Structures are given as C-alpha cells and as structure tokens.
Structure 1
Amino acid sequence: MPRYTVYGDAHARGTVALVALLLAKEIAFDLVPPTASLSFVLATRSGSESGPWLRTPEGFVLAEPWAISEWLERCHPDPPLLPTTPVRRTCARILEDWIEVWLPLWPRRSWSTLTGLGAHLAAARFLLGEQPCRPDLVLAAWLETEVLVVPDVRRFLAEVAPALLSHSDALIGPVVGGDDDGSGDVILPAVRSIVVPLSDRLSDDAIPLSLLPVLEEIASDYHAYLVANQQALKEGADRVLVDLGFGKRAFPPRRDCEARRARIGRELAALDPESRRDVRRVLEPVGAWHALTLPPVVEEVDPADPRSL
C-alpha cells in the first residue's frame, strides 16, 4: 500500500516538526534524506527550493510546513491537532505562525521570550492548557533542533525556564543521531509517537490566563511586522520597516506571512457574529486583533488542492 514519504534533513526543525505531526496522527510514512539530485527534482515538482517535502500516496509533492500541515489536517482529521472552538483555534493559529516564522529570527531577543514562554508552560503545561496541540509540536521541534542543542543554552534554560525542557521532552525528546537501517530511510527514535486528545472537545473555549502576556508580545512584534508587511506588499515595496523597541529595522517582504495572516482572517470572517465577538474580546485587549482583520493582498491558496501549494 502506498505510504507518505518525508524528504528532509532528519535533524532540521521543519523535518522534525513534520515527523512529529505524522506520528501524532498515526500516519505511516518513510523518512528519506534527499540527495542533491533528488532535492532538485522535489523542488521542481513542489515549487519550493527548500525542504522538507512530503510525497503523498497519490504522488503529489508538497512543500512549506504550514501548507503540508493544513493538507494533513484536511485529509486526516482524526485525531484533530487543532482546536475546533473559535477562540482556542484562532490562538493556536497565531501561536503556530509566530513560532514557525518569527521566533527563529530573533535568537538574541528570544531570551526574555523564552523565559516568558517557560513561565506560561509552568502554569498551563502546554500552550493552550492541559493537552498539546499542533503549535506545541512546532515549538518542541524548534527548541530541540535549534535552541537546546547548545549545551550552555540548555543549562541556562534548565535554571530559568525548566518547563520549556519538560514541554519539549514530553513531545519530542532530544534529537540525536538517527540510525540507518540499510534501506536508506533515516529513523528518528527520539521523536515520540503521541496521540493528542484535545480538551476543547468539551464546550469550554477558554485559554489559560498565562497565555495573555505571550499573545501581547506576539502583537507587539510579529503582528507589527504583519501590518507593515501587508502594506509593503500592497504598495510593491522592497522592504518592511518595523520598530521593535530599539529603532526601525528593515525586513524583506514575505508573501508567505501575508498568506498565513490572511488565512486566519478568512477563518474569522467565516465565524458567526457571536463567535467572532468572543474571539475579538480575547485578542483586542492584548493588541492581537487588528493585524488579522486587514484585507488580504495575495491570492488565496486552497490547501485542499496540492497543485496550488
């Protein structure tokens, strides 16, 4: 029977996050390290020069972690790795985009961010409460592949934010050298196979109070970039100027960030008025509402159609 195939560096953040996602959904797959020639073919077929890539059983080749995640969530809805209630689902979207796109860009500024995340996880256990969801997998993959691999950083965070290490270890564990079983497939024994039950299957749509400072920080930097990025793309500018508290800095415009922002906006627009008000009541006081309501300036991509990814 045809299986999914993941092509990517076994110790890269995107690959580890994708492997963890497939394991959480109990989807059978093979993990293959791409050669230079194979990477060229995958890039040609997917339209993306960088991995990881996912080949579906039907033969489509998908790229971009967030697009792959959406495809898998659509085609394999059980177990659900995103909340279904509006407030928690929107917060999960915000957290996932921030962790995947923004956090890795700010290693120096991330110390206070990481200690803040550690304080939140110490209070809530996972990003949205007692049970993990998709952003938790993305966070754990980033921590284990790019942050905690530095011994001094691991020791420092073990002292000031031990909940970060506990969170990461509970979902993925240290990413150590993979084994080759002779077939060319790389095995990641340290990535834990988990099934993620979501507490929002109940009627409660609450988020932990300790998440509010995290959302406030997201609004102050990443969402500030999203607002400026939307304007830059609209005007055809070649840079995005954002003041993150220490003077304006130039960033390149990113269409993928705009597409992700617009996707959340479309989900909000599709909510019934009462649910939309509930989300707004949570996000507006911390400044995380405005950026999501701006009109999109890039063409919508349908995650149900792999040819558009």
Structure 2
Amino acid sequence: MPSAFLLIGIPGIENGATWTSLVFCVLYVLAILGNSALLYIIKTEESLHTPMFFFLSLLALNDLAFCSSTVPKTLGIFWMNGGLIDATSCLTQMFFVHCLSVIESGILTAMAYDRFVAICSPLRYSSVLTYSLLRKIALAILLRAIALIFPIPLLVRQLQYCGDNIVLHTYCDHMAVVNVACGDKRVDNVYGLVMSLFVTGFDLLFIGLSYSMILQAIFKMPTKDARQKAVGTCGSHISIIFIAYFSAIFSFLTYRFGQKTIPHSVHILSSNMFILFLPFWNPLVYGVKTKKIRQRVQRILFYNQSTFPPSRH
C-alpha cells in the first residue's frame, strides 16, 4: 500500500464548498449536542430506565461515534486542505465507519423487536425484555458488526497499488479505496456486495415481519385512542428506519451501478448525509415524539429559569 492516501473531498462542488462545509459543521454540532442531551436525560430520569430507552441510548452513543469518525476529517479537508491521511489511519477509519453503520442497522432492528413485544405482548414486556437479554442483544449487535467488517481492511491491505493514492471521497470508504488499487479487486467487490446485502436484507426482513405483526395487533385494539397511541409510539421509529435504509441503499446502488449516470459528487454527498443526517435527526425525532423526554426538557428549562434572581427593574 502507499504510505498515505489523499482524500480530495467532494469534486464538482468547488463553488459551493464554503456553504457545504458550514452545513456539515452545523449539523455535526447539533448532532453532538442533541445526542449528548438525550443520553443525559435518559441517565438522570428514572422513569426512562426501560428497554425502549436502553436501545435509544445505544443509538445515541453509536451516532456520536458514527458522525465523529468522519466529519472532523471532512471539515479539515474543506477548511485546511487536510486531505492527507496515512494508510493505517485510513484503514482504521474504514473499519469504524462501516462497523458503526452495521451497528446502527442492528440497533434499529432491536428497536423494532422492542416495539413488537411492547404492543403485541404488553403484559409480558418486562419479563421478556430483561436487562440480561438486553445486554446479550447489545453484545450480539457489536460482535456481528466486528465479525462482518474486520475482513474488509485486511482485504484492502492485500490489494496491489500502482502508485496512485488519490481517493475520490471525504473519508476512507471501502469501495473508494478499492477503486484506487490496480490489481484484482473481485474478492473485495464480492465480499462488500454480499456483506451489504446480508446485513440490509436480514435486518429489513426482521423489521418488516415485526411491523406486519404490530399492524395486525393495532387493528385488533378495541379503542381508537389505543390505536392512535400505538401508532404514535411506532411513527418516529418508522421514519428513522425509512431515512436510514433509503439513504444507505441509494448510496450502495449509485456507487456500484450508477457511476456513469449519477454525478460522483451526488454519491459522496449521499454517503456523508447518511453518516451525518441520522445522528442529527434521531434525537430531534425522539425528543419531539416522546412525551417523557419532552417533559424532562421542560422541567430542566423551567428549573433553570426559576434559579435566576428576579429583576430589580
């Protein structure tokens, strides 16, 4: 491998690079603040110590790591032309970006199972989703991601390079680095394709089955209020799932099958928005949709206002 790679950012948007970097920066700061606030509220509010918020806290932690794995380097490329990255750091970033992406998908799948148990078997909710099971689910999500992604940087390291070290991306994406190589890339291409289809296909199938049974249970509820409450608890999760998998599938398909018809800048922007927009959107959606979180935020704001000394004017 070359000793270092040069990340060139997003080619084709030079005229709008300043505004693009500002959008990235604002979304990143809001994502850090939103997910940190979500974790603080869940930790300090006893009534939120439930399986649903356990998975939500895992999602917030993963989102913090997810966006932080790429955005600081991306901003360095925009603001300081800091696109140079040594090979070891590039492979490390590649591992964490894709590992955190698989973990994100696993958490969303686990949250679908949580909603299935809560709506279809509400009386058994606490006995089924024990903290022992929650820890096992979290460990399984982590181990699956590591097992699937660990071979990727090893395979990339074995490729043959012919002196070219320019990566057409803002971070060390797997296929972006593979495209730099000049040797036989079939193993990397096939493994990346099979791994992506396996994770996306399995998780979407599980989520689809969970929500099909959830819908059946909702239609059987005796009152309209109960049905509305059940739909409300699932609505935020469904919106997150749609955004996450739509952007991931779009990025996956355009990189492999749409390079001749879709501008490269569009693909890179979609990849960055998948990493950046979800961490920004998740705490916003769950904060607005979840009544207990809204009440906790209101209490914090009301308490802070009440601690200010009264004005003398």
TM over 0.5: no
Larger relative contact order (C-alpha < 8 A, sep ≥ 6)?
2
Task: Kindly name which structure, 1 or 2, has the bigger radius of gyration based on alpha carbons.
Answer: 2
Pick the structure with more helix per residue. 2
